[in-house]
Each structure stands twice: as structure tokens, then as C-alpha cells.
Amino acid sequence: MKKTVKDLNIDNKKVIIRCDFNVPIKDGKITDDTRIVKSLPTIKYCLEHNAKIILMSHLGRVKSEEDKVKNDLSVVATRLSELLDKKVTFVNSTRGEELEQAVANMNDGDIILMQNTRYEDLDGKKESGCDMELAKYWASLGDIFINDAFGTLHRAHTSNVGISTYLPSCVGLLVEKELDALSYLFNPDRPFMIILGGAKVSDKIGLLQNLLPKCDKILIGGGMAFTLLKAEGYNIGNSLLDEETLDFCKKILKENEDKIILPVDVVCNDKYEDTKGTIKDITELTDNEIGLDIGPNTVNIFKNNLSNAKTVMWNGPLGVYEFKNYVKGTDDVLTYLTEINAKTVLGGGDIVAAATACNVTDKLYHISTGGGATLEYLEGKELPGLKNIPEK
């Protein structure tokens, strides 16, 4: 178990907290502040200990001057200040006198949010490339480094791996909670069921290989199901096909005959568009049809399999949930999970977005804030962002 903020003496210290404030923004307004809300426990804990708090985060990708305008972090300072009911000073630079002065003038309990760390990417990818000079400079602003950005743990960037090279470091309360919930999946109560959906098998090979031996059943829907169905010999029409993984699919189907459950019916359309589809048995698809959601019989089979589950892990939607005509399969199974006695962990941006739209997030055991980080952790990979954080 990694050291957390509770294991270090942060009283009256300058703490740098790397948060994940990579929130969606439309027309200059934050459309979903979940990531800011999830960062509050660590910030509040530091406030209770009279620390001086320096917050850092990336926002979007910055490859041009226009990207800087689009990904200006100041809107986050405003929202955070509302949520905390406390002044948050925004520093519109990532280095230099303005930043250094602001830090030098801090009193206990003050909060500063530095401009988007990825502004440094315009000058030779200094943030994303883990530039150690910049890391040393950012580390010089504080006494202690707290990594609370779960969503970027799978990346080795200056603002996580870099700074933690130079300062006593620990994880924040959000990262602690995420790791606790996800590591539960390595030793889950059984039956342990996995639901996988989303677009491509190739994105989930590592996950399948790592979790198949550990789970009791794996229910597969979404676009990725069609490559497996094709491997089983069905005509999948114009549905999504991940050709280069066909051999892999044949192999895992052979080795896990009793474990893998595939759709028996689908909702299809002859165009990839949000118009009403037709429910068809999986044996009835014609060459020009595209399966865009799982059908009602498949939903029932999934429900039956989930009925006695004690643990469920879900990554990837079961249909094109962005289209209102093809969200039903995903929504029906999400709703069912709120009615059974299983600990459900959702990981990955799309299924979390679907669960948020379906209003079920507060009825499930854990909603992981990181997509890539969640998958890499579950694949058993070491997360670079944790490398320099000592064990307890």
C-alpha cells in the first residue's frame, strides 16, 4: 500500500497537489465537474492541516496557441472556489516571477491553482516528455508532493513522475480510494462477473488476458462482440470488425467456451445513424446490416448471469450509447446492477458517461475516474505515476 497524505506531516507545509482537473468544457463552461468534486477530500484534508496548497493539473492537449485559449484552467479555479466556498488564486503562468511571487506570498490555508501544465508542451513537450529541469523547478515551489490525479497515473509526465523524483511524495485520498476499489477486483467476492463492451477487441486484449482467468463469466456486447461473433462463424453484416484480432478471438473462445457469453440478438440498422433499428436474432443479420445495440433476449441472458453475482467489473458500453435509439441495452443492464446485491466497479470514460446519463452512479460501488489508468492497472501493468511513491 502506497503512503497517503495521512502518512506525512503536512502541517503548515507547502504541498503541491497534482489533481486531475481535465474536465469537459463547452463554450467556456464546465459541463461535468465530477473530477473537481472528487479532488475535494484531499484539498479539504490539507486545509484542515493549515497547509499552503499549490494545485497543478493538465487540461486537454496543447499543441498550438489556440489550444492554450481552449484549455485555459482559470474556469476550474472559479468552480473550485465555489465548491470550497473559499478563495482560489489562479496564477496564469507555469513558471516565472508571477508564479514564484504568488507562492512566496502564501499564508497557511491559502490555495493557488497554476495554469495548465500542458502549456509547457508548446516548448518541446516539456510536460508530457517528463523534462527533469522543469520537474526540479516545479518541485522547488513546495515541500511535499501529493499525487491525486488517478486519471494520469499511467503516464510519466513532469507534473507527476517528475516532481515526485525531487520531493517527499505520497498519494492523495482519491488515488487511495481508486486503488483500494480496483485492487479489490484482484481478490473479489464470487461469483465475479465481467461486462465488456466498447468498440474494439484490440484495445481490450490485455484486459481479457489478465481478467479471464480470474473471473467466473465474461459478458461481451458492444462493437467488440462482433469480431468474436464472426470468429464463431456468424454473418455480422457491416457491423464493426477488428480483423487483426480474429485469430486471438478464436483462441480465447476455444479456451474459455463456458466463460464467454456473447449476444444472441441485436438491434440493427442499415446505416450508422440514430434512427429506429430492427431487433434481429444474431443468425439473421444480412450483409448490409450493422448491429448497434444488444437485443432484449441478450439483456435477459446478461441479467440471468448477473443475478447471483457478488462482484461485477464493467468496461465499455454495450451499444452505441451516444445514439438514443441504441442506448437501451446498456441502460437496462446498468439499472439491473442497481437492483442486485453485487459490488459493481465501472471503469473507462464511456461507460461512466453512460452511467451518469442513466443516473445510476451513486447506486453503484465504485465509479473509476480514470479510463486508461483503470485499464492498465487491471491489466496488471505498473503505473508510472506510482513508481516514486514509497510504500507505507
Task: Compose the 147-186 pattern: x for residues touching ligand AMP by CB under 6 A, - for all others.
Answer: ----------------------------------------
Active site residue 96: no
The catalytic residue among 200, 214, 250, 259 is: 200
Stretch that binds ligand AMP, among 96-104, 206-214, 248-256, 316-324 (CB under 6 A): 316-324
d(Cα 118, Cα 125) in Å, to the nearest integer?
A: 8
Contacts of 97 (CB under 8 A, 6+ apart): none
d(Cα 379, Cα 387) in Å, to the nearest integer?
A: 17
Q: Taking a C-beta distance cutoff of 8 angstroms, is the pair 330, 320 a contact?
A: no
Size of the site for ligand AMP (CB under 6 A): 17
Q: Does 203 bind ligand AMP (CB under 6 A)?
A: yes
60-89 residues in contact with ligand AMP (CB under 6 A) are none
208-247 residues in contact with ligand AMP (CB under 6 A) are 222-223, 240
Q: Taking a C-beta distance cutoff of 8 angstroms, is the pair 133, 127 a contact?
A: no
Task: Compose the 290-309 pattern: x for residues touching ligand AMP by CB under 6 A, - for all others.
Answer: -xx-----------------
The catalytic residue among 14, 18, 35, 217 is: 35
| Helix, strand, coil tally for the chain in percent (to 5) | 40, 15, 40
CA-based end-to-end distance of the chain: 6
Q: Which amino acid is at 74?
A: S
Query: DSSP labels for 22-90?
Result: ---EETTEES--HHHHHHHHHHHHHHHTT-EEEEE---S---SHHHHHHT-THHHHHHHHHHHTS--EE
Stretch that binds ligand AMP, among 99-107, 110-118, 186-194, 312-320 (CB under 6 A): 312-320
Stretch that binds ligand AMP, among 14-22, 176-184, 298-306, 313-321 (CB under 6 A): 313-321
Please report, for residues 236, 326, 332, 336, the alpha-carbon distance to residue 297 in angstroms, rounded to integers and kept in the order given: 18, 15, 12, 15
In whole angstroms, the minimum distance from the beta carbon of 109 to ligand AMP comes to 41
Q: Does 198 bind ligand AMP (CB under 6 A)?
A: yes
Closest alpha carbon to 267 in 204, 225, 218, 312: 225
In whole angstroms, the minimum distance from the beta carbon of 205 to ligand AMP comes to 12
Active site residue 371: no
| Shortest-Cβ-distance residue relative to ligand AMP | 198
Grid cell for residue 243:
480483423
Active site residue 118: no
Active site residue 35: yes
Task: Compose the 326-365 pattern: x for residues touching ligand AMP by CB under 6 A, - for all others.
Answer: ----------------------x-x---------------
Contacts of 376 (CB under 8 A, 6+ apart): 154, 206, 383
Q: Does 317 bind ligand AMP (CB under 6 A)?
A: yes
Query: DSSP labels for 262-288?
Result: --SEEEEESSSSSS--EEEETT---TT
Which positions touch ligand AMP (CB under 6 A)?
197-200, 203, 222-223, 240, 291-292, 316-317, 319-320, 322, 348, 350
Q: Which residues are the active-site residues?
A: 35, 200, 349, 372
